[in-house]
Amino acid sequence: MAKIIINGGHRIHGEVTIGGAKNSTVALIPAAILADSPVKFDTVPQILDVKNLQLILQAMNVSSTFENGNLSIDPTTIRESDLPSGAIKSLRASYYFMGALLGRFGRATVTFPGGDNLGRRPIDQHIKGFEALGATVTESNDIIHIDASDHGLIGARVALDTVSVGATINIILAAVKAKGQTIIENAAKEPEIIDIVTFLNNMGANIRGAGTDTIRITGVDTLIARNTHTVIPDRIEAGTYMSMAAAFGDGVTVRNVIPEHLESYTSKLIEMGVNLEIGEDAVHIFPSEKLQPVSIKTMPYPGFATDLQQPVTPLLLMAEGESTIYDTIYPKRVRHIAELRRMGGDIATVKPGEIKIGHSDRLIGTTVEAAEIRAGAALIIAGIMADGTTVINNADHILRGYDRIQEKLTNLGVDIAIEGIDLINLMP
Ligand SMILES: CC(=O)N[C@H]1[C@@H](OP(=O)(O)OP(=O)(O)OC[C@H]2O[C@@H](n3ccc(=O)[nH]c3=O)[C@H](O)[C@@H]2O)O[C@H](CO)[C@@H](O)[C@@H]1O
Ligand SMILES: C=C(OP(=O)(O)O)C(=O)O
């Protein structure tokens, strides 16, 4: 396991350019196997999740190359194979191979997905969608078999019981080549869903309504890539750097941002009194003065993202008064709290999903654990703010999803080292 070591106490300044969205990329790569031609992506983030998805592709005889953010995938030689369970378990998004393989072969056998422990992460809505399209789903020994090979997938109406990013994308992937029309009601509206749909439609898919709660998919026979797909900027990475800059910056410009994707987040920063200048595709964060406490509730998009709940906590420690966070999406996603307390933060979980944050004058570096990716991001910010040295163990969780973090933080003036992982060989 990797560790990140930060010698804190130096305010950050300068510029940082945001990479392509992890949560788009991890769905775009499985989606690529639906194509009947090679596909190309650019601004792909350099993260462990991409490496593990490439390993899964390799097992299916799908070749891929990745250099400087340019990812090429050739799915034309794909064959059905056993998938490497280590790579499947390393990230949640491996579950998108269920929908993608089902769309490609009419059946899929995939180990139950792993990924970060945020509390219970059921996939019943994904399965409900596959079954509605005519697939039989069985589970044995942690392996899920989904089969519609007898009669093929037939378009259907699926009303999701919960707004789910994963289920919405997985049903789109299964339905894109199914016979007839599929309608997803109560669909998630995240920008990453629009990105996947843009990629598929540019290849000839017929998907309407992405970004609203009703998505209509009319199945097509072939998908051919005719251009390079540029991944949308990572709004969670952007929010993480904005939090850092507002908490402990002397003027930071965050570039390659779609400000509309961050509205619920920036409106909370503004409510706190953070001084921002929002441009067309960049946000400048001025040094903060007196910050007000706020109350935050995580919600499906366009609400405040659960993935920004943790990165905002170190900033809330700077506010002069008590702030509250309610995580309605993943109430057990609070594993950063005990670690922030150990660094001197006045922060506690008072009920499941409810966090109270008081003003904390000073954080002190110590050894902490990154239990999941965004908890790790919170600890990085706290480590930058803290006096002394912070050692973050289990940092692989962070490297799963934060593009070139050492380089970006060093450019902002952070004294950071990563040990226990060969970053040069991060990409196969
Ligand atoms: C790879 C990726 O894009 N991951 C994101 C995705 O995760 P993930 O796909 O796990 O999250 P979902 O949007 O699917 O889940 C949202 C909520 O619905 C529930 N649910 C979900 C599916 C299901 O079949 N049944 C069910 O009950 C979940 O427990 C959760 O409470 O969205 C989360 C919520 O925005 C983000 O934190 C993750 O970063
Ligand atoms: C929890 C996350 O990722 P995953 O769903 O891949 O575990 C995240 O991106 O915050």
Ligand 1 centre from 416 Cα, in Å?
32
Note the pLDDT of residue 89.
87
Rounded to a whole number of angstroms, the CA Rg of the chain reads 21
**Across the 428 residues of the chain, what is the mean pLDDT of every consecutive 10-residue run?**
96 98 98 98 97 96 97 97 88 95 96 81 95 96 93 97 97 98 98 98 98 98 98 98 98 98 98 98 97 98 98 98 97 96 98 96 96 97 98 96 97 96 50
- Residue 287 C-beta-side C-alpha neighbours within 13 Å: 5
Note the pLDDT of residue 112.
87
Ligand nearest to the CA of 123: 1
Taking the CA of residue 307 as reference, the ligand 1 atom at the shortest distance is: 37
The β-bridge partners of 26 are: none
Ligand 2 centre from 340 Cα, in Å?
20
β-strand pairing of 229-230 with 39-42? parallel
Ligand nearest to the CA of 401: 2
Note the pLDDT of residue 422.
58
Note the pLDDT of residue 398.
96
CB neighbours of 299 closer than 8 A, spacing ≥ 6?
264, 328, 329
Q: Whose CA is nearest to atom 5 of ligand 2?
A: 92
Round to whole Å and give the CA distance between 354 and 412: 32
Given ligand 1 and candidates 92, 164, 171, which is best to mutate, with the most ligand atoms within 8 Å of its CB? Answer: 164
Hey, is 273 helix, strand or coil? coil
Ligand 2 centre from 119 Cα, in Å?
12
Taking the CA of residue 329 as reference, the ligand 1 atom at the shortest distance is: 31
Q: DSSP alpha helices (H): ranges in 95-206?
A: 96-105, 124-132, 165-175, 191-202
Domains of the chain: 3-19+233-425 (3.65.10.10), 22-230 (3.65.10.10)
Q: Residue 85: phi, psi to the nearest 5?
A: -70, -30
Residues making up the annotated binding site are 22-23, 92, 121-125, 307, 329
Hey, is 347 helix, strand or coil? strand
Q: Catalytic site residues?
A: 116
Note the pLDDT of residue 275.
97
Q: CB neighbours (10 Å) of residue 124?
A: 11
Ligand 2 centre from 361 Cα, in Å?
31
Taking the CA of residue 374 as reference, the ligand 2 atom at the shortest distance is: 10
Q: Residue 174: phi, psi to the nearest 5?
A: -70, -35
Round to whole Å and give the CA distance between 385 and 379: 10
- Short-list 213, 301, 297, 298, CA closest to 261: 301
374 touches ligand 2 (CB under 6 Å): yes
373 touches ligand 2 (CB under 6 Å): yes
| Tokens linked to 343 | 């660094």
Note the pLDDT of residue 424.
43
Ligand 2 centre from 329 Cα, in Å?
12
Q: Whose CA is nearest to atom 1 of ligand 2?
A: 116
Given ligand 1 and candidates 162, 172, 400, which is best to mutate, with the most ligand atoms within 8 Å of its CB? Answer: 162
Residues making up the annotated binding site for UDP-N-acetyl-alpha-D-glucosamine are 92, 121-125, 307, 329
Ligand 2 centre from 24 Cα, in Å?
11
Given ligand 1 and candidates 264, 329, 330, 372, which is best to mutate, with the most ligand atoms within 8 Å of its CB? Answer: 329
